[in-house]
Chains A and B, each alone.
Chain A
């Protein structure tokens, strides 16, 4: 009965088949496509939830199903479902191409599910490539005469470059440790970590994941891709794909089990650089999606703090942070999608008067942004707290201090967004926005989750700890 372990992936493959047929055979019908996608993605969450307790290995041990991977599969399925929820008015993409959009989105989710379960370098690399290619193609899918082609090309070229670097890293790593299984590498690596080829191999391999997470030297694609892609695609890149990146980065860093000081130094430097740069550049941004892009660069830095502490509580903190990040970022993007209903880019100034036009969305935006800034009692505060405490326990005081200063800097631009939504009045008196009942429900759930999980994080914390313990 080993096949039952593979059910979530098989389900998503089935879904790909459905969209493939829709893309090929039938006439465009956005409403029908949306409802099919919504239905299938809801079922996807259910399937992933049902298979959370499974454990085992598949395909000559290249594929491991454990609590760590299953928790991440559920998170990914939820992220996918949430993004589908905001696709009811998919105005950023031509009607003819909606099935392709869903096809690429589903394939990307499948690739990330494969990614979090793979424990063999070739499988990891291939899954990573598959998810990247879906995203490269989703970016230029946008309608209209904007910057989407340029940002698509930039994203693709930076991605192809880092993937080649990563491949070279895997090659040198393989040359030292003579195995491609992650479990074996964990055993062999501490003995050979003193050799330059092993450290450099591991570092270059990590480049691929750091690119996915948009950490400092590999961040240059993020602002352009965020701005160039359709709003829904940006929401997906900013939420689900980041979660998968955190998962695989955690798994890979756990490889070295803290035995290399070089690796720690490099990761600490990257973490500091990426949060400082992200926060400082975010201050001058006028476009909401670009601002969110720089904010995700800085958040990648915070997540790295948890990962770099290389303890179980650090990994648990990173996973918790990823979940929190998904919810808060998604809430912000939900507001972006709803306010920019015609699928255009959203300037921060365009948020003016939002509290009058739609109090509910304004409140959601405020909570999401406060969460990102790390203000209690939101889940963002709890996430930051966990990560910082894990780093303090390892004695990284300077790192935590710099992160704290960064949090203060970031308050400035987050408050700018809130100010635009609450205090500024728009010149032209725009009509109140109509918010449909399902959207209201969605917003309500998200807001409740952000607050409740911020105040009572115990259950989620237990879950992330159990998931992290599956790693060690």
Chain B
């Protein structure tokens, strides 16, 4: 076992434990904090797999922007942890069954697939190479993403104003 393998297993352990904690916490803020740890672990894995740019972006966008947005919303809505009811069996049963099926599939895939035993070799992608590749070959998807973000922007703006609009319309209807 090389030192890199050891790093991988440690990170994998951290990610699994942190995610497991995140999905079982009742307090949403705690969940988010555990999730940030898990995403940091993923970022480290990206670095290990030779994608330093993605590692940086994972921390900036995922662990940074997205999770902070979640935190912000949770704080804004002031979700009271005690108000969240404990999920009953009816909810956990199908969820766990589905999860177990996925794990079973993963085991099947891992054990039955001859190709998956290939060892991963170390490699490093320079951000410059990555950027050149991205903007040469994939610029149509980039255009589509720009449309997607525009639409998300329009939608968020619209939904943000929608509540005030509804209240106004209800007032008008009452008149």
Which residues of A are at the interface with B, using a C-beta cutoff of 8 A? Answer: 16, 23, 58-60, 62-63, 94, 96-97, 100, 103-104, 107, 110-111, 114, 122-123, 126-127, 129-130, 133-134, 136-137, 140-141, 143-145, 172, 175-176, 192, 195-197, 200
- Distance, CA A122 to CA B154, complexed state (A): 24
Residue of B nearest to A201 (CB): B109
A62 touches B148 (CB 8 A): no
B79-99 contact mask (Cβ, 8 Å, vs A): 1 or 0: 000000000000000000000
Which residues of B are at the interface with A, using a C-beta cutoff of 8 A? Answer: 105, 108-109, 112-116, 136-141, 144-145, 147-148, 151-152, 154-155, 158-159, 162, 165-166, 169-170
Closest Cβ–Cβ distance, residue A15 to chain B (whole Å): 13
Closest Cβ–Cβ distance, residue B49 to chain A (whole Å): 13
Return the contact of B140 from the options A59, A195, A200 (Cβ within 8 A): A59
Closest Cβ–Cβ distance, residue B158 to chain A (whole Å): 6
Closest Cβ–Cβ distance, residue A24 to chain B (whole Å): 10
Known: A195-B115, A196-B108, A200-B105. A97 touches B147 (CB 8 A): no
Return the contact of B165 from the options A59, A94, A104 (Cβ within 8 A): A94
- Distance, CA A60 to CA B162, complexed state (A): 42
Closest Cβ–Cβ distance, residue B58 to chain A (whole Å): 16
Majority SS of interface residues in chain B? Answer: helix
Majority SS of interface residues in chain A? Answer: helix
Known: A100-B158, A114-B144, A126-B144. A197 touches B113 (CB 8 A): yes
- Distance, CA A60 to CA B148, complexed state (A): 22
Residues of B within 8 A of A59 (CB): 139-140
Residues of A within 8 A of B154 (CB): 23, 100, 103-104, 137
Closest Cβ–Cβ distance, residue B70 to chain A (whole Å): 14
Return the contact of A94 from the options B137, B152, B169 (Cβ within 8 A): B169
Residues of B within 8 A of A127 (CB): 144
Known: A145-B166, A200-B105. A123 touches B113 (CB 8 A): no
Closest Cβ–Cβ distance, residue B118 to chain A (whole Å): 10
Closest Cβ–Cβ distance, residue A37 to chain B (whole Å): 17
A-B contact count (CB 8 A): 81
Closest Cβ–Cβ distance, residue B46 to chain A (whole Å): 14
A63 touches B151 (CB 8 A): no
Residues of B within 8 A of A192 (CB): 115
27 A-B pairs with CB atoms under 8 Å apart are A16-B147, A23-B154, A58-B140, A62-B140, A62-B141, A94-B169, A96-B165, A97-B158, A103-B154, A107-B147, A114-B144, A122-B138, A126-B141, A129-B148, A130-B144, A130-B148, A133-B155, A136-B155, A137-B154, A137-B159, A141-B158, A145-B166, A176-B113, A195-B115, A196-B113, A197-B113, A197-B115
- Distance, CA A200 to CA B112, complexed state (A): 12
Residues of B within 8 A of A114 (CB): 140, 144
Known: A59-B139, A114-B144. A104 touches B151 (CB 8 A): yes
B169 touches A62 (CB 8 A): no
